[in-house]
Amino acid sequence: QVQLVESGGGLVQAGGSLSLSCAASRMLFRYNAMGWYRQAPGKTRELVALVASGGVTTYADSVKGRFAISTDNAKNAVSLQMNSLKPEDTAVYYCNAVINGAIYWGLGTQVTVSS
């Protein structure tokens, strides 16, 4: 199995920045996609950003121009740089990976953005 561990969440004021990182337990020589989702209380989990193995990225409209996803196979990691944070970005952020057709999730990291 592959374990995904998120880090980098925390409390930040509106307009600030945070960088999230998701580390895989093993070297990922090949993956289908890696990305970030988020879920706020009372809401469904939504896609934030995703990168496919071919390098094509997808962003939610609400974060375009503010967030950037990147992968680093050497570090077995996928990161999410979040800038110009807004209170509506407050949620638990989850790392997701599709590897050889199997779906993996991290346990999530809390991001709280105050006004």
> Quick one: pLDDT at residue 26?
77
> Which of 30-34, 40-44, 99-103 holds the top average pLDDT?
40-44
d(CA 35, CA 49): 6
Instruction: Quote the percentage of the chain above a pLDDT of 90.
Output: 76
d(CA 9, CA 91): 10
Answer yes or no: is pLDDT of 74 > 80: no
Nearest to 40 by CA among 98, 105, 86: 86
Answer yes or no: is pLDDT of 27 > 70: no
Average pLDDT in the chain: 92
CB contact at 8 A, 27 and 73: yes
